[in-house]
Structure 1
Amino acid sequence: MAAQQSQGIQTLLEAEKEAAKIVQQARQYRVQKLKDARAEASKEIEEYKKSKEQEFKAFEASHAGTTINTQAALDTETEAKLQEIDVVFNQKKDAVVNTLLQRATLVQPELHRNLKKINA
């Protein structure tokens, strides 16, 4: 009977070792699958990033001429407006200076409205 128990214990120990091996293999398999998934995800991310970068470069190239043309048109328009402002300034400069001088030299002394007359 002791031999049978010893043999039963031995069988249980072997089964436990086998189960530990299976668990270890499952862990290794899971770790490997995670590494593979990460590698695949980073590869997909890089491909997506490259495709979006190419799209952006294509968009930028197609609109580069438009930007230059728009900038030239804006520069021309700005110059025209500046010239117009200079013309208006030169036309009205003398009138504005005269108006300012008249207002500055036209002094009419008056008592302040908050000052009360003192009856003496």
Structure 2
Amino acid sequence: MDSPAARPLCRLDDLVDGEATALDALLPDGEESLIVLRQGDAVRAWLNICPHAGRRLDWAPGKFLISRGTLVCAAHGASFRTDDGECVGGPCRGDRLRAVPLSVENGEVRLATEPAARLSGTAG
């Protein structure tokens, strides 16, 4: 059986440059919703869980608000920098989104083959 990292999440061309979308991924702890953000040829991902209240960040299913380089949580307005996921405004200032490392190989976006312990910190 293939490992989760062996299966592509999507094609890079399926992602709109500068926008974030939700994708489901099978992680070591089970299936999770990810926030996937494309910036040129780079792709970053975080668990779709706000550290403030544990709710999803999307305004509508799979749709996220990005304003002035920050990803804004729909529930309480927390703002997370799109380069590293750190909360720079709102009720969880100083906390951060849990990054999920990705790679782009032959135009396919995949989970990186890094250990599960690396699910905190930055990705991209």
TM-score normalised by structure 1 residue count: 0.14
* Structure of higher CA gyration radius: 1
Higher share of residues assigned helix: 1
Q: Which has the higher strand share?
A: 2
Q: TM-score, normalised by structure 2?
A: 0.13
